[in-house]
Structure 1
Amino acid sequence: MFNLFNKKYENAALLDEIKTRQERWFVFLDKLEARMVEMNNAAVPELRKVFQQDTDPYKRAHIHMLSGLIGQINQMRNKANEIREDNIVAFVYEAEASLPSIISRAGSEYRAKLHTFRMACLNRHFVFEEKINYAISLLQGAAGEQDLESAYQEELAAFERIRDKFSCRQCGGNITIPRMFFIDTYITCPFCQSQNTFSPSTGARMVLHQARSLAEQRTAHLLRSYEAATPKNPDLYRRYLRAMFDEWNKIVPDMVTENEKFYERLMNEYTINHHL
């Protein structure tokens, strides 16, 4: 979008280029933000409608539509990141490399101008990122927050009512299901030792599907504490993430091994990205 000049910058030419690039960058982000607002204004009512009318308990039509919309927003984010790297960051490096050709007494002034330009562009990009995150949160919340806790407690109560009402297909002996399962599971008959397949209800399967979201709802207050802190406190994020995974593991204990691997990966990524 903004082509780098393949030349050394001199005096006023550098200042003109700084001014032009900053103006183009701001206009570019303004246009992206306007597109986001327009898209969200049209999408949020449709998302809500699809969610309400989707009879699939997994809400796959809604999820598919939501994923597509978030994908469009992330395309805008990726384009902005590309422009920032190629036409802001790379330009500053190139311009700084040309400074030795500028008269020495003015060198510090030009470096200061470049620094001011770089910070202004990065700060504008930070505002853009905040708007990106807000747009995504609007899409994700379009259907309204579900009461996952009540749905989970209802499934627990339903399981307690049926756990002792199964018979072995081989010998007819009574079988008690030891705990709630979320996928088809073999249960051994205590009398004849034959294997019986226990198939959970659709509601129980949904518990597995929604377990992380429920854990996030239970620990949302910890995430809000982290997000409200200025500056960000890594310990608050660690506390939130650990608590969220603990709740997740309580809801679906069969997933503990996989969840803990996921937890370690998220913590490693957080440490690397925040240079901790």
Structure 2
Amino acid sequence: MMPTFAQYHAELQALSNRMTVYLDRMEARAREFGAQAKQTAAELQATDPNSVATFRMEIHRQIMFLHTKAERAYEQYISPYEDLEDDDDLSMDEFRVLRNLTEDIEHEVDSFEDRMDAVIEDIFAAGQANQTRQEWDRAIAEWRAAQSSFTCSQCGAPVALPELYHVAVYVTCGGCGSRVTFQPSEAMRAAPRWAEELADAECADLKRTYEAGHEGGGGMDFVSYVYYLTSQFRVLSRLLPFYARSLAPQMPGKIRAAWEDNTDQLTPHEVSPRHYETEYLNVMGNIGVTAMGMRASGHTEHLALILGVVRDVMRPGDPLAQSILDGTFTEEMWDRRQAAADRMSDAVPR
């Protein structure tokens, strides 16, 4: 006698529970292994950095084998249930319920790879942070040395180096007016990499929030990205202003791409009028509240970045967005717009 829907469902639920326990146990094993490998990683990063890449590849191979085991377990025990569509004793609705269960398990197995990546990152995080700080300090030290020793090739007068330049630049001699080429050292040329890592470390919480995503979206993934991107750029501008200025022209393109990827604002015909309006208001309202706080606390540099985002994505002539730019935004204005959006249709255009 063929199994019934109830039997299939009970079997899959039991397998799902077992898979969860199995993955948790393997993660615990990976973390135990990682705790032992962490000290070796730190020592290599401090004494023999050229060997770190090889060591990391071996660690990656060993830990990711656990993910391979999880995939094999899925293939052996779960994937046979994917063929139940051919079972004539199951209705389409019953098959969909079972298929959803298998997809949930598959997603858990797929996300186990991210859990293993996190273990690997943790092994090398402390040593990487130390290396980043050491290399950054070396770049700063060499820039300071160049500030006191760089002279004009024409008249021999000292030439100012007000910023750390990571590429060759022309600087003007204050004595004779000649344009002199400054060639940065190897450490200075590498400074953008270390500045990026320092900025990411300082903005780690914002980056995690963006990468984790928001259930239901509603424009909040875009807002999280804006907070991360503008904060990272602000830190880079403090650490390495010459490099940050070279990145500034890329900002609008990144914002526009995130607007397209994380919202439905460029495809209003694919969503309901209520969703389209609410998503826009979620973005503008949250940014508006943030801008109010920045104005009150005097964070003008970061505020300028946030207002630039508003200009990049606002609807032409939109009064709510304009109020953010003018500094007249209030939460009451936002609430009124939201109330009006709530009365819009939930029907998707056909």
TM-score normalized by the length of structure 1:
0.62
Partner of 1:49: 43
Partner of 1:198: 183
CA gap of 1:122–1:262, structure 2 versus 1, over 3 A, is: farther
Tell me if the contact between 2:41 and 2:124 (Cα under 8 Å) persists in the aligned partners: no
Tell me if the contact between 1:181 and 1:200 (Cα under 8 Å) persists in the aligned partners: no
Alpha-carbon offset, residue 19 of structure 1? 4.0
Tell me if the contact between 1:168 and 1:174 (Cα under 8 Å) persists in the aligned partners: yes
Which runs of 5 or more structure 2 residues have no equivalent in the other structure? 265-350
What is the aligned-residue identity percentage?
18
Cα distance in 2, alignment partners of residues 162 and 76 from structure 1:
50
> 1:102 aligned to 60, 82, 89, which one?
89
Tell me if the contact between 1:173 and 1:189 (Cα under 8 Å) persists in the aligned partners: yes
**3-state SS of 2:227 partner:** helix
**3-state SS of 1:182 partner:** coil
Indicate yes or no: 2:239 matched with 1:251: yes
Partner deviation per Cα, 1:35-60 (whole Å, 9 max, x = no partner): 63464244222101112323xxxx44
Alpha-carbon offset, residue 214 of structure 1? 1.1
CA gap of 1:159–1:123, structure 2 versus 1, over 3 A, is: closer
AA at the equivalent of 1:53: T
Cα distance in 2, alignment partners of residues 268 and 88 from structure 1:
41
Which runs of 5 or more structure 1 residues have no equivalent in the other structure? 1-9
Cα distance in 1, alignment partners of residues 125 and 235 from structure 2:
22
Tell me if the contact between 1:148 and 1:214 (Cα under 8 Å) persists in the aligned partners: yes
> 2:3 aligned to 12, 32, 57, which one?
12
Partner of 2:56: 66
> 2:97 aligned to 92, 112, 115, which one?
112
Partner of 2:193: 209
Partner deviation per Cα, 1:191-236 (whole Å, 9 max, x = no partner): 273644433373x445323011111122234346657887484122
CA gap of 1:200–1:146, structure 2 versus 1, over 3 A, is: same
Cα distance in 1, alignment partners of residues 68 and 144 from structure 2:
49
CA gap of 1:221–1:271, structure 2 versus 1, over 3 A, is: same
CA gap of 1:148–1:118, structure 2 versus 1, over 3 A, is: closer
Alpha-carbon offset, residue 12 of structure 1? 1.9
Tell me if the contact between 1:186 and 1:198 (Cα under 8 Å) persists in the aligned partners: no
1:90-239 residue pairs with structure 2 within 5 A?
94-96=83-85, 98-99=86-87, 101-102=88-89, 108-109=93-94, 111-119=96-104, 121-122=105-106, 124-125=108-109, 128-129=112-113, 131-143=115-127, 145-146=129-130, 159=143, 162-163=146-147, 165-187=149-171, 189=173, 191=176, 193=178, 195-200=180-185, 202=187, 204-223=188-207, 231=215, 233-234=220-221, 235-239=223-227
Partner deviation per Cα, 1:86-138 (whole Å, 9 max, x = no partner): 77997555322x14x2266xx6555534434443x146437725632431332
Cα distance in 2, alignment partners of residues 81 and 36 from structure 1:
16
Cα distance in 2, alignment partners of residues 259 and 127 from structure 1:
34
Tell me if the contact between 1:189 and 1:196 (Cα under 8 Å) persists in the aligned partners: no
Tell me if the contact between 2:23 and 2:70 (Cα under 8 Å) persists in the aligned partners: yes
Cα distance in 2, alignment partners of residues 249 and 78 from structure 1:
42
CA gap of 1:176–1:78, structure 2 versus 1, over 3 A, is: farther
Partner of 2:285: none
CA gap of 1:174–1:45, structure 2 versus 1, over 3 A, is: closer
TM-score normalized by the length of structure 2:
0.52
AA at the equivalent of 2:84: A
Cα distance in 1, alignment partners of residues 110 and 192 from structure 2:
36
Alpha-carbon offset, residue 239 of structure 1? 0.8
Which structure is higher in RCO with an 8 Å CA cutoff and minimum separation 6? 1
Q: Please report the RMSD computed on the Cα atoms of aligned residues, expressed in angstroms.
A: 5.0
Cα distance in 2, alignment partners of residues 19 and 266 from structure 1:
47
Aligned residue pair count = 255
Cα distance in 2, alignment partners of residues 242 and 70 from structure 1:
32
Cα distance in 2, alignment partners of residues 82 and 270 from structure 1:
38
Partner of 1:242: 230
Cα distance in 2, alignment partners of residues 83 and 268 from structure 1:
38
**3-state SS of 2:130 partner:** coil
Alpha-carbon offset, residue 68 of structure 1? 5.3
